[in-house]
Chain A
Amino acid sequence: MSKERLVVVGNGMAGIRTLEELLARAPDRYDITVFGAEPHPNYNRIMLSPVLAGEKSFEQIVLNGRDWYESHGITLHTGDRVMGIDRAAKTVTSISGRTVPYDKLLLAIGSNPVILPIPGKDLPGVVGFRDLSDVEAMVAAAKSGTHAVVIGGGLLGLEAANGLAVNGMEVTVLHLMGTLMERQLDEAAGYLLQAELESRGIKIITKAQTEAIVGDDKVEKVRLADGRELDADLVVMAVGIRANAELGKLAGLEVNRGIVVDDHMVTSDPDVLAVGECVEHRGVTYGLVAPLWDMAKACADHLARIGGPGYTGTVSATRLKVTGVELFSAGSFGDAGTEDIVFRDGARGVYKRLVLRENRIVGTVLYGDTKDGSWYFQLLKDEEDVSDLRDTLIFGQGAGVVEQDPFAAVAALPDNADICGCNGVNKGTIVAAIREKGCCTLDDVRTHTKASASCGGCTGLVEKLLAYTLGDGYQAQTGDKPMCKCTHLTHDEVRRLILIDKLKSIPAVMQALEWTTPEGCASCRPALNYYLMCAWPGEYKDDNQSRFINERVHANIQKDGTYSVVPRMWGGLTNAAELRAIADVVEKFAIPTVKVTGGQRIDLLGVKKEDLPAVWADLNKAGMVSGHAYGKALRTVKTCVGSEWCRFGTQASMSMGVKLEKMTWGTWTPHKVKLAVSGCPRNCAEATVKDFGVVAVDSGWELHVGGNGGLHVRATDFLMKVDTEEEVMEVCGAFLQLYREEARYLERTAPWVERVGIDYVRARMEDLEIREALYHRFLASQRFEQIDPWAERASGAVDNHEFAPLATLATLAAE
């Protein structure tokens, strides 16, 4: 039996998702041909904003590479736009002249940006924000020009504006309405968003009516109706999209605002189907991603001749993809006959609003804290009566119930609840992957379902689903999980056995503890190397090949493969000679970026790997050594000026900091370690977000531990107060040694202190015998670790192979 021929016009997300759904249902039913107007394989269009912002590369957003088409026997014509359909002959013809016959035709041709009919709209420099070529045009414009004007303050416009600002342009957003994203946000949330974007240097003009784009042979200015003129090297039109129905109209299909389809995505011609943004379904056109997934399923059911329920429309939610801005919106608000529940936390910049009608959620806007977005959205879609939840509803799903059961939240979600909005993956699919495909880690779930594989916003939920579905099976993985897939033993067990069995090399550990892989992996090898070094100071030989590249070459790898160099500046102090040496190095090696870090150091960014030894040699000559800014090691001791200069200082914090850094530099630790010393309780050195923080008071020193900034900010726990500098040194050394000996590799002091409890740590520090023994062991191991790695390598005697190429074959080019 010969196969039916299916031709898909449009190589975007809707068309290809439909094919994926179809192949899952009826893999051999059709001979498939796909036409794409863009020259690329299928990519995730909603991730163009992160590409523009430089957070993702194009390769990272490709959904299906060309090998996918090959492996399914699909013929793919990219860069070949279909120009016409002959419904009588049942063929399509492309711009390159290809004519291909079909039995079934699927139109998935998306939408076009709306271009305002104003003078100058066709000038070079005016772009939409729809496909990769637009992104490329914007990135190119950012390289040559300085001023960008984005017309439209909706979702797309703001993502474009943010991306252009990240690319270094001075961006102005023109928005016709008084509130940004007025279709998704209310005034309060719009204000918070505007303030956030303005703090990033984006200028926003609301109630702005664009009159004309001005320029001779390219964009030069944008003129507003009130006469104002704005400089512009680039204009992005992001005022909306319009279903691309042209092809359908030419072919004589029924077309309204989009190509009209029924619930099975069939157009007015029974052999022609359509999905995605090009369609109009029950009078509605869609411009978001979630409806595509539902349409794709209905369409695939029909193509596979499965009598599915069809497509009945989608209620959409919106998340803004601007890094650092959390914003969620769904449903409607501002209608008559509704009630509001509002929660605000000014300090945290949180605004939450629920709109209720007759005890059912009909809309929600969340700003600053969106973790309950999917829950509210589900209640909204299910039209659930929330009377019983009303008192605590605004505090989120956790309020009231989660105390006893941390998984009640995910357990309560129905199977059709969308967990991953980016890739349209619901709870049922994830749970099935866990139960039936044997997924037992986040990565497994990402691989099999694509959930949490795009923006990562749902990672926490996916982890909870894993824990909930696997029960004790996953408990073993979170609470005391094996070090990695190479062993069944936990970190703590491995460490104990290293000591008990006197294991003194990585092969010895792997042999004695029955590793399941010959040589371990990139995750257990660095951990074992650290554990052995900590257990047998001076005796264990550091295995460089088990270290991450940064620790191997003593510099920080950057995204372009160059390195950054941070010389140590004891206690954050420097002098003219050091600064002169740094300046000379920067000029001599043409180092592109010099940056002052949060830890009071100077960071030289963009150093070529082969230049590293020479850079270090020059810095060494001026007396500077490695700052270990690359290592699981003591990074920095930050200080304020203290009583040496400050009117308020009570103790000499600078010299205290220098002493601490001289004692602790060079130590290897489970994760990075940062210290700070403040000269008075005003705490200008921010000691209470450090791993070990010292705050001077009139009568001595307060010691704080277990703090960090970063993604999950944690203030320190107060450890104890001591009287003398000697005691500060001793507690610091003892605390670090306790951390070195007992924390798990890659566990910072904050989660470690939380895990074991501050009382446990304090008891160790208050028992003078234990404390002294820890301090002694710390100093003993420092004898072997305080060797400047830069000087060793600058001499050419150590690890020269890391920096010099094996061979250079450049002359071959001439052959």
Chain B
Amino acid sequence: MNAMTPQTWIAVGRITDIPRRGARIVKAPGGDIAVFRTGNDEVYALRDRCPHGNGPLSNGIVHDRRVTCPLHGMVFDLTNGETVGPDTCRAQTIAARVVAGVIELANPLYAENASA
């Protein structure tokens, strides 16, 4: 597997492994990744760490395409990691897709390097 190209995708599980409006973590180098499944079976991934107070976003309540952090209640847009409202704070996103029921994440090492 070529880890250094953006086209590298890694299968991490089936979409049915995550409850609707729920999340699970993928342990990865550089920190846990929270993989979310919305009520409409869309899948998104964020670093499992709220940039505001380090809350584990995977433990938040998912509503629409949003998640509310369990520690201090900040609400993040799953599609771009930005907080809802004017507060400026952004959770790191990781590209995710579903292929034939299998969730794939963009190679997290690549994502980490690209954002640096």
Chain A residues with CB under 8 Å of chain B are 57, 59-60, 65, 67-68, 447-448, 517-522, 525-526, 544-549, 552-553, 557, 559-561, 801, 804-810, 812-813, 815
Contact = CB atoms under 8 A, between A and B. Distances in A.
A517 B75 CA distance: 15
A549 B25 contact: no
A522 B55 contact: no
Contact of B63 (A65, A525, A805): A525
Contacts of B35: 806
Q: How many residues of B sit at the interface, in one of the four size bands?
A: 35 or more
Given A559-B53, A801-B19, 15 more contacts: A519-B64, A522-B75, A545-B21, A545-B61, A546-B61, A549-B60, A549-B61, A560-B54, A561-B54, A804-B24, A806-B12, A806-B25, A808-B27, A809-B10, A810-B29
B61 to A, nearest CB: 4
15 contacts: A60-B52, A447-B86, A545-B20, A549-B60, A553-B59, A557-B56, A557-B71, A560-B54, A806-B12, A806-B13, A810-B29, A812-B28, A812-B107, A813-B29, A815-B109
Contacts of B89: 65
A801 B52 contact: no
Contacts of B62: 545
Contacts of B81: none
B65 to A, nearest CB: 9
Interface string B53-82: 111100111111010101101010000000
Interface of B: 1, 3, 10, 12-13, 17-22, 24-29, 32, 35, 39, 51-56, 59-64, 66, 68, 70-71, 73, 75, 85-89, 103, 107-109
A807 B27 contact: yes
Contacts of A805: 24-27, 32
A91 B79 CA distance: 45
A60 B68 CA distance: 17
B26 A545 contact: no
Contacts of B64: 517-519
Nearest to A547: B61
A67 B88 contact: yes
Contact of A807 (B13, B53, B63, B68): B13
Nearest to B19: A545
Nearest to B109: A812
Contact of A519 (B3, B56, B63): B63
A809 B19 contact: no
A561 B108 CA distance: 22
B53 A812 contact: no
Contacts of A517: 63-64
B1 A559 contact: no
A807 B103 CA distance: 11
A520 B55 contact: no
A520 B61 CA distance: 11
A701 to B, nearest CB: 40
A427 B77 CA distance: 33
The 5 closest A-B pairs by CB, nearest first: A522-B68, A813-B29, A807-B12, A806-B24, A549-B59
A544 B23 CA distance: 12
A561 B57 CA distance: 10
A548 B108 contact: no
B85 A447 contact: yes
Nearest to A524: B63
Contacts of A545: 19-22, 61-62
A447 B70 CA distance: 20
A87 B111 CA distance: 47
Contacts of B51: 59
Nearest to B22: A545
A547 B108 CA distance: 30
